[in-house]
Structure formats: structure tokens, C-alpha cells
Amino acid sequence: QVQLVESGGGLVQPGGSLRLSCAASGSIFKIWPMGWYRQAPGKQRDLVATIGTGDKTNYADSVKGRFTISRDNAKNTVYLQMNSLKPEDTAVYYCNTFPRAIVVKGTDYWGQGTQVTVSS
């Protein structure tokens, strides 16, 4: 069964840090690469970072050098360490499979996401 549960968001000042966690179902985690996505108010959902089953990582240009994606295979959990946060990073952050969201009964499946707000 599909499960994606994000946590760790919050309100931080510019320059601050947060670490997000994503608990994924075992079958999804072990078969597919995983990604972190984000959606700011009034904008489309964009890919932020990915990690493959072999732990190869990739990042959007906007976060390269500031964010780090990792995973714990034993816990079926994916993390996103976010440093040097900027107001433009404000968004709801989601985890999902990559290169596209998992489909359940004909519909893209997304968790509830976790809100990240960067503001003075």
C-alpha cells in the first residue's frame, strides 16, 4: 500500500536551516528513485532534489549548494537538509517517486506535505 508522510517544516528566518523527513512505504522506497518537490502559493509544483536507488543525487539550480537529500534504507525514510534558507524557498514540500508521482487508481498520489516558511 502507498504511504507518503512528510514532516519537519516550520517557520524560520532567512539564513536558517530545517531538516525535512519523508516516511515512504517500503515497496515504493526500494523500487523507485525518490524526489522532493515544492509548491509555492499560486505556482506550479517543482522538483527540488532527487536520490536514486544507488544514492546518486541531483538538485535544482535554485537550491544547489544549500540543500542535501539523503535516505535511510532501514527506515524507508528520505531526508532534505535545507541550509541558508531564503524567502523564495517558502512553499509546501512534498516527497514522491521520481521521475513522476506514483499513480494510485488512475490518480497521482500525494501526501499532505509540510509547510516551510522563510520570513523575518
pLDDT number for residue 78 = 95
Which residue is it, cell 497521482? 108
pLDDT tens digit sequence for 28-77: 887 889 999 999 999 999 999 999 988 899 999 999 999 999 999 889 99
pLDDT number for residue 50 = 98
- Of 71, 81, 61, 95, give the one whose Cα is nearest residue 16: 81
pLDDT number for residue 28 = 82
* Cα–Cα distance, 31 to 53 (Å, whole number): 7
* Cα–Cα distance, 27 to 118 (Å, whole number): 34
* Cα–Cα distance, 4 to 21 (Å, whole number): 10
**Is 62 in contact with 79 (CB distance < 8 Å)?**
no
pLDDT number for residue 40 = 97
pLDDT number for residue 2 = 86
pLDDT tens digit sequence for 90-114: 999 999 999 999 998 999 999 999 9
